[in-house]
Amino acid sequence: MAKLAGEPSEKRRVAVLINDMNAAGGIQRVAANLVRDLQPWYRTTLVAVEPFRTTPVFHEPGLDFCSLDLPRNPLSRSALLRELLKGGRKFRRFVKERQIDTVLAIWFDWSSVAAFALPRSVKTVGCEHISYWQATRKWRWIRTLSYRHLDAVVSLTEEDRPLFAKISRTTSVIPNYVDAVQPAAAEGREKILLSIGHLDARKGFDRLLWALKQALLDHPGWKLVIVGGGEKGHIDWGYLDYLSTLIQLLGLQGRVEFHPATDRIDEWYRRASIYVLGSRREGLPMVLIEAKAHGLPVVSFDCPTGPKEIVRNDIDGYLLQNDSIEFGRAASKLMADAELRCRMGVAAVEDARHRFAPAFVLPKWRELIESLHKQDH
């Protein structure tokens, strides 16, 4: 808990703004981690826009989770605009009542709202969770107009940093992070290829089925387990039907399992032996960092941003271009070689504990927050 030079004795009040805490996804884990782990230096609060349907995911005793109780169901652009304006007004009142002096807004929509809704005395930081080009054309235009009014923008990757630097005053690169865990023993793991994510085409589970068909047929004891989906707004039922049909066409019945999202995802990491990522687009996927922390070698498509800044090819996993055949061969190589899985798993843990540990990442957040407030003096 060492103080930075010039840090005030009174703790700053930091709010993390996010759309909802009902779905157990990577973005929710990031928000909860920040609220918990910045507590030694700041008075932190998580603010969700949407109401809590049940106990919010990733909540722990001692964490301050609040909701603006603003149900969102925009059916048109005008309805979306009204919701954002209403949310901005409610959040502005919340910030004033709680005397918040710093806001970390996650995702481009609420980052844009924070840019316009809050007084200049409040330091606003837009926190990106996806790659620059994943936003729609409309939102890229809105982001270009609004981000210049933020005090800073945090990019997840070095690759995207120059793009955000063109539309913001201050741009920092701060990766996601995970706590150190004790990986499960190699001999106790099951023959599971694990993949986690919301069930939509962006996550590329169809690509995984095509890529892993031969590997699964060549290794009868193995199965692909897909964990995710099931929550409002995080499952494309048409896509799920397509995946089910594809499994039958590829002859993979009984070799692929679907499980709902869970806030006890660590249990799946401990059971699995290999992590596979088929995403077409990513930011800096938490699942890859978590998989490495749990000692899982990774096989991943090298989508435009994210995996290349996490996976070290031929050291703790394999990065493949858009080549399903080579992807399957890499997975098959790991499935057939327990010693290789163990060696890459050890390398993965060592790297995660260095580059993606709280002790490495949290100082970057503190330095950014304090530097923004120093500009007032």
Contacts 24+ apart (CB under 8 A), 160-163: 160/128, 160/131, 160/132, 160/305, 163/132
Q: How far is CA 376 from CA 9, 121, 125, 135, 372, in A?
A: 17, 9, 16, 32, 8
In a shared domain, residues 126 and 141? yes
In a shared domain, residues 173 and 205? no
Q: How far is CA 353 from CA 6, 21, 178, 208, 356, in A?
A: 29, 27, 8, 28, 6
In a domain, 2, yes or no: no
How far is 248 from 8, CA to CA, in rounded Å?
Answer: 62
The first and second tokens of residue 333, run together, are: 């190589």
In a shared domain, residues 33 and 119? yes
In a domain, 7, yes or no: no
In a shared domain, residues 210 and 316? yes
pLDDT computed for residue 77 by the predictor? 77
In a shared domain, residues 143 and 227? no
In a domain, 4, yes or no: no
In a shared domain, residues 69 and 199? no
Task: List the CATH number of the domain containing 141.
Answer: 3.40.50.2000
pLDDT computed for residue 180 by the predictor? 87
In a domain, 119, yes or no: yes
- Residue pair 284/310 in contact by the 8 Å Cβ criterion: yes
Q: State the residue range of the domain holding 315.
A: 186-355
State how many domains the chain has: 2
The first and second tokens of residue 198, run together, are: 């919301």
In a domain, 276, yes or no: yes
pLDDT computed for residue 7 by the predictor? 54
In a shared domain, residues 238 and 317? yes
pTM for the full model?
0.87
DSSP symbol at 306:
S
In a domain, 1, yes or no: no
pLDDT computed for residue 231 by the predictor? 47
pLDDT computed for residue 145 by the predictor? 95
In a shared domain, residues 328 and 204? yes
In a domain, 121, yes or no: yes
pLDDT computed for residue 233 by the predictor? 44
The first and second tokens of residue 297, run together, are: 């070698």
First-to-last C-alpha distance (Å) of the chain: 24
In a shared domain, residues 225 and 100? no
In a domain, 329, yes or no: yes
In a shared domain, residues 121 and 30? yes
In a shared domain, residues 302 and 234? yes
In a shared domain, residues 127 and 234? no
Give 10-residue mean pLDDT values along the chain (377 residues): 55 96 88 97 97 93 96 79 92 98 96 96 95 91 96 96 96 94 93 94 96 98 89 70 96 96 91 97 94 98 94 98 96 98 98 96 97 84
238: Cβ–Cβ under 8 A, 6 or more apart, which residues? none
Q: How far is CA 7 from CA 11, 231, 324, in A?
A: 9, 41, 52
Which residues partner with 260 through β-bridges?
Answer: none
